[in-house]
């Protein structure tokens, strides 16, 4: 039996949508992408600050893999076992928006220079 995603609903900052879909943050663009790409919008918890990065919490590994497939190539994704809750596995698909050249931008830090003077992030991009 899969984890009941409705247990994520009801929080102060959580918005509940039809079909047991819950979101935390301004994530309607991500829901639209999933919908347009054919991912069934039911039984999920979408967590993030904005549509640039976040996680989709899902009750099964196959749904997490399908969510990742729906977001690629616009987003870099990673599917993983998030943990166990109430004796059931809970899976997550982490996503980070890609820019047109395929790289991902830092969602929070736009510029970072180390003490030795090396700039490791410039304009949201990791420097190599």
Helices and strands (H, E) in the chain, number of each type: 2, 9
Nearest to 24 by CA among 7, 8, 43, 42: 8
109 and 89 within one domain: no
pLDDT tens by residue, 64-94 = 999 999 999 989 999 999 988 888 889 999 9
Indicate whether 90 and 118 sit together in one domain. no
- Could you tell me whether strands 15-17 and 21-24 are parallel, antiparallel, or unpaired per DSSP bridges? antiparallel
Q: Are residues 64 and 82 in the same domain?
A: yes
**Cβ within 8 Å of residue 14, ≥6 positions away:** 8, 22, 23, 24, 45
Q: How many domains does the chain have?
A: 2
Judged by average pLDDT, the poorest of 7-16, 29-38, 59-68, 82-91 is 7-16
pLDDT of residue 4: 66
Q: Do 57 and 80 reside in the same domain of the chain? A: yes
**Residue 60: domain span:** 5-97
Q: Do 122 and 72 belong to one domain? A: no
* Same domain, yes or no: 53 and 65: yes
């Amino acid at each position: 039996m899969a984890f009941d995603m409705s247990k994520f609903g009801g929080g102060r900052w959580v918005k509940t949508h039809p079909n047991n879909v819950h979101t935390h943050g301004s994530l309607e663009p991500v829901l639209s992408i999933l919908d347009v790409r054919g991912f069934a919008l039911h039984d999920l918890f979408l967590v993030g600050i904005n549509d640039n990065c976040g996680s989709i919490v899902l009750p099964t590994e196959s749904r997490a893999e399908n969510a990742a497939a729906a977001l690629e190539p616009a987003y870099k994704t990673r599917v993983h076992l998030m943990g166990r809750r109430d004796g059931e596995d809970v899976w997550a698909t982490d996503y980070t928006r890609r820019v047109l050249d395929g790289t991902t931008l830092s969602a929070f830090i736009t510029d970072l220079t180390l003490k030795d003077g090396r700039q490791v992030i410039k304009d949201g991009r990791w420097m190599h």
